[in-house]
Structure 1
Amino acid sequence: MKEETTRLSASLEDYLKEIYLLNLEGQKVRITDIARSLGISKPSVNRAMNTLKELELLEHEHYGKITLTDAGRDTAKNILDTNKIVYRFLTEILDVDEQTALAEADLMEHDISKGTRKKLKKFIKKSTDKKSADKKAK
């Protein structure tokens, strides 16, 4: 399991990741945007935003835009990075099909520790470097 002092639920992590991704697209994020993007009701999103606001991971004025705090942005980046690393491991190393890898990376991103993430990243790099060297040798 992840080593964090305040353990976020998988759904709260998904909200943070979605806000971060919407921000990367240049959107000013509102409750409606998150609800639409995740296919979740506005009241559910609102409850989650209140929880994340209490945890000081985002700022949100009533009916206003939602912005991540530095801590919220860091947490969201970590979640997204873990997702990408797990996806690469599944597709590049285990040869899992893309659709399955997308779904499973979304599930696994919530329970991989930072230590395991680092080891996966190192393993992928070593493996891809070896494949590259093997191709050059042929």
Structure 2
Amino acid sequence: MPKETGRKLIASNKKARHEYLIEDTVEAGLVLTGTEVKSLRMGRASLIDGYATAYNGELWLEGVHIPEYINGNWTNHAARRRRKLLLHREQIDKMLAKAEQAGHTIVPLSLYFKDGRAKVEIALAKGKKLHDKRQTLRERQDRREAERAMSAHLKKHG
């Protein structure tokens, strides 16, 4: 079987980009069981309630839902179990130091296969206030309106 290359997206956390201001992102490996990998290869996962915590000086991903493998047997995994993140010591220390500041947390942004290995993009994030969320939505709406106006202008004069 030929070796996989490239990046295959499994799940992304769009809600995190709306709820949080992303300050720093890091790609991390995941410690998974065989049935978890098979379930991910079927493209099934949810990052919506996911977050990372420190435990014994290591980062652990919690709240990420990888459903049980359909063809699994008694060796199947728990859907929302705690999974260890694989990072360099300097990256862990840097993320934990920043996450301890008030209002900061570590959230998963996307889960994907990169060259056949499961990876998760985690981000150091700061919670947005309600007015910040409204501002983001307003900016997005203004940008869409500007693009519409420009395309209509180009169609008329193009």
TM-score where L is the length of structure 1: 0.30
Q: Counting strand residues as a fraction of each chain, which structure ranks higher?
A: 2
Q: Counting helix residues as a fraction of each chain, which structure ranks higher?
A: 1
TM-score where L is the length of structure 2: 0.27
